[in-house]
Amino acid sequence: MAKNTSKGKLIPKGALLRAALIWETWVQTCYNYERMMGMACAHTFLPVVKYLYPDNKEKQVDLMTREMEFFNVHPEFGSCILGLAVSLEEEKAMGKDIPNEFITNIKTSLMGPLAGIGDTIWQGVLIPILLALCIDITLSGGGNIWGAIVYAVLMLLITYIFSCANFMFGYHAGSDAIMDFLEKGIINKLLKGASIMGCMVMGGLIVNYVKVKCGLTIDTSGTTFSLQESLFDAVLPNILPLGLTMGVYGLMQKKWTSVKIILLMVIIGVVGGIFNILV
């Protein structure tokens, strides 16, 4: 769609960038159950709406009203939808016959898959890996502040650059390109690579930060036999932290909530501590 119309006729580049920045900055300042990010959508159109209908207030109101509708997506991955919506509204303003429902439909139908992919990649892969590395930097060598600073600066840069680039991608490339991107499997390859790296990092994290030690001892003819030192450490150190992590993973697969798991850990800790099973 929209390959035969020349772009950028109505909206100057500066206003477009301002729209992208508004989206990224204020997207969740009024996050609510009724419309989720709906008002942020309308807010995004604030710098561009006056270029679309310079002297037709009624059409401006129409546009803003339909952008106020329910919308919820992952802020960074979903910003291409906003870029796409701006470009569709621009074509409409330039006289092309695009029904209002078409714009709303394409927004709502894209937000599901992009939210799914975005939340998984962003909060399930990117943030955990980056956080794990930066926490390790912070805790290494008796502690320092660099991990916290590196994480905050990197994350801010990634967030803003990715979101604005994605917004412009949606604006220039149109819905075909977004669909292509979702279909082609680049994301899958990326996700698989990131999963491999993430698994390696999590393996290291288990060893370094999950602490479970068995305090049981067995007395046999005068010599004390510590299960931890003589059995676990001799066969495979850190087998207990690995076992605990896999156990928690198994419970989560069985739909246990994190609250329940925290309670279970408290019970295990109290019982284990009182009877010296855990130290």
Partner 1 sequence: MSIMQAIICGVIYWLAEANLPFVGLWTLQRPLVCGFLTGCVLGDPVSGAVIGGTINLVYLGFISAGGSMPADMALAGVLGVSYAIVGGLDANTALAIAVPLGLLGTIVWYLRMTIDSVFVHMGDKWVAQGKFKKLYLSNVILPQIFSAVICVIPCFLAAYFGADYIQSFIDLCAGKPLQIFQIIGGMMPALGIAITLQYIFKGEARIFLFLGFMIATCFGLTLVQQGIIGLIAALIYIQVTDNNKTTGIPAASSQAAVGAVAKDYDPDED
One residue of 7, 10, 17, 38 binding partner 1 per CB under 8 A: 38
Q: Does 209 bind partner 1 (CB under 8 A)?
A: yes
Closest CA relative to residue 82, chosen from 34, 33, 37: 37
User: Angle formed by the axes of helices 57-67 and 38-45, to 10°?
Assistant: 150
The reply on whether position 226 binds partner 1 by CB under 8 A is no
When binding is defined by CB under 8 A, the residue of 49, 85, 93, 164 that contacts partner 1 is 49
**237 binds partner 1 per the rule CB under 8 A:** yes
Stretch that binds partner 1, among 59-67, 78-86, 165-173, 218-226 (CB under 8 A): 59-67
Q: Which residue has the tokens 């479970």?
A: 212
Helix axes 38-45, 13-26, angle to 10 degrees: 160
Residue listed under structure tokens 């046999």:
220
Give the CA distances from residue 46 to residues 19, 40, 65, 124, 196, in Å, rounded to whole numbers and listed in that order. 7, 10, 12, 33, 42
161 lines the binding site for partner 1 (CB under 8 A)? no
Q: Does residue number 134 form part of the binding site for partner 1 (CB under 8 A)? A: yes
Q: Which of 171, 187, 168, 177 is nearest to 118 (CA)?
A: 187
Query: How many residues sit in the footprint of partner 1 (CB under 8 A)?
Result: 134
Select 86 or 117, whichever has its Cβ closest to partner 1. Answer: 117
Q: How far is the CB of 224 from partner 1 (least distance, A)?
A: 20
What residues form DSSP beta bridges with 254? none
Residue 266 sits in the site that holds partner 1 (CB under 8 A): yes
3-state secondary structure of 214: strand
The reply on whether position 140 binds partner 1 by CB under 8 A is: yes
Q: Which is nearer to partner 1, 224 or 276 (CB)?
A: 276
208 binds partner 1 (CB under 8 A): yes
Using the rule CB under 8 A, is 10 a contact of partner 1?
Answer: no
